[in-house]
Amino acid sequence: MRILLCVVFFLWPWALQAFTVGALFGTETPEAELARILASQARLRGHALQVKFYDPSGEPQRIFPLVRRAREEGVRFLLGPLDPRLQSEALTAAQAYRLPLILLSGDYDPIRVPDEPFAYIFRTGLSPRMAARVLLSCLSRKGLRRVGVLLSLNEVGREGLKWLKIYAWEARLRLTKVAWFSPEDTYLYPKFEELLSTEGVVVWCDRESALKVVQEKERYGLGLPFFFGPELADEEFLRTHPSLYGYPFPGTALFGRRLPTAVPLNLERAALVDALALLEEIAARGLPPTAESLEALGPVTLPGGLYYLTNDDHYGLVPESAGVFTYGLAGFQPYCPPTLLSKP
């Protein structure tokens, strides 16, 4: 018995370190602090999870050598990157080195398309595609039928229009007016005039442009309801810009609660919480840390919602477990609450 106890004592730390996750972001970021806390909590629950950090510093050319080093150092899963501009290199490197990658940002939903393999790529959190679907479903539940769209004349706006057009029919909405504005514009009243015949306006743009839209709207006393895309789901930005209080935007179910730390919530951090919870689920079930184990989980309830991963869908977030929220002095509040409950 004494020998057995000694073996357990010496092997226990090694067992906890056996499941190593590589995070493609820096060690001094709020996301790194959050990852360390979540991994530590997982180890306290007896689940082998450790995070190492590989910082590309915003440079695409660093991704390949970092992923190669992660593979050599025994990393079993990759998380990130936080910057969508690094996504293409991360996808290519993960496939090349056969390391499963869980994306935390960007407009890439790994759903099987013929002749386009995605064996090692997964996604957690709220993608732009799912955000559009969730937001339009909310507007339909609120009784809107004729909706206008106000878009920033950049990649964010073009991406938003693509998904809004695709999912408007599903929500039984008509996008009756579409107006564009440049992020450099300082006079938006003509754009607002184009949208006055609608019942509400979806504004899909970057955060700074959203602030400008709201300031112009209030300047002219426009009473038309405005709803924003996922770029507004950033607690740190909202906290310092009270003029954005009360405007609805889509988010995962985690926005209806709180993070387990004082780190302000945004979409990337919400995706990180779900990614680590997903990997802890593998450890809790005693499964090996592989892509096949994720596919075998079946329906799994995570802090941000219900996921159902299969070998045809490596995203799997069920739309009904996301919602639309507002932000104010009391924090995040549900505007269209998720209809499926998620894990506390």
Tens-digit pLDDT string for the chain (344 aa):
555 444 444 444 444 446 899 999 999 999 999 999 999 999 988 988 899 999 999 999 999 999 999 999 999 999 989 988 899 999 999 999 999 999 999 888 777 666 666 678 899 999 999 999 999 999 999 999 999 999 999 999 999 999 999 999 999 999 999 999 998 888 999 999 999 999 999 999 999 999 999 999 999 998 899 999 999 999 999 999 999 999 999 999 999 987 767 889 999 999 999 999 999 999 999 899 998 998 889 899 999 999 998 877 888 899 999 999 999 999 999 999 998 754 55
Q: Would you say residue 262 lies in a domain? A: yes
Q: Which pTM does this prediction carry? A: 0.90
Please give the pLDDT value at position 113.
67
Looking at the structure, tell me whether residues 18 and 121 fall in a common domain: yes
Judge whether 98 and 121 are in contact, CB under 8 Å.
no
Distance CA 101, CA 108 (A): 12
Please give the pLDDT value at position 54.
97
Please give the pLDDT value at position 315.
84
Please give the pLDDT value at position 343.
54
Distance CA 132, CA 124 (A): 16
Looking at the structure, tell me whether residues 201 and 285 fall in a common domain: no
Please give the pLDDT value at position 13.
42
Indicate the SS3 state at residue 27: coil
Q: Would you say residue 241 lies in a domain? A: no
Looking at the structure, tell me whether residues 24 and 111 fall in a common domain: yes
Q: Would you say residue 291 lies in a domain? A: yes
Looking at the structure, tell me whether residues 122 and 133 fall in a common domain: no
* Last residue of one domain, picked from the residues 172, 197, 232: 232
Please give the pLDDT value at position 117.
61
Looking at the structure, tell me whether residues 218 and 308 fall in a common domain: no
Structure tokens at 262: 């004082």
Looking at the structure, tell me whether residues 226 and 290 fall in a common domain: no
Distance CA 43, CA 57 (A): 28
Structure tokens at 286: 């005693």
The residue among 171, 122, 141 whose CA lies nearest residue 271 is: 122
Q: How many structural domains are present in the chain?
A: 2
Looking at the structure, tell me whether residues 97 and 26 fall in a common domain: yes
Looking at the structure, tell me whether residues 100 and 27 fall in a common domain: yes
CATH number at residue 24: 3.40.50.2300
Give the CA radius of gyration of the chain.
21
Distance CA 276, CA 115 (A): 30
Give whole-number Cα distances, 81 to 24, 27, 135, in Å: 5, 13, 25
CA angle 11, 17, 20 (to 5 degrees): 155
Q: Would you say residue 68 lies in a domain? A: yes
Judge whether 73 and 20 are in contact, CB under 8 Å.
yes
Distance CA 97, CA 182 (A): 41
Judge whether 300 and 281 are in contact, CB under 8 Å.
yes
Q: Lay out the sheet containing 226-228: strands in order across.
A: 174-181, 146-152, 200-204, 226-228
Structural domain boundaries, residue 193: 129-232
Looking at the structure, tell me whether residues 297 and 224 fall in a common domain: no
Looking at the structure, tell me whether residues 134 and 120 fall in a common domain: no
Structure tokens at 264: 């302000």
Looking at the structure, tell me whether residues 113 and 135 fall in a common domain: no
Please give the pLDDT value at position 18.
60
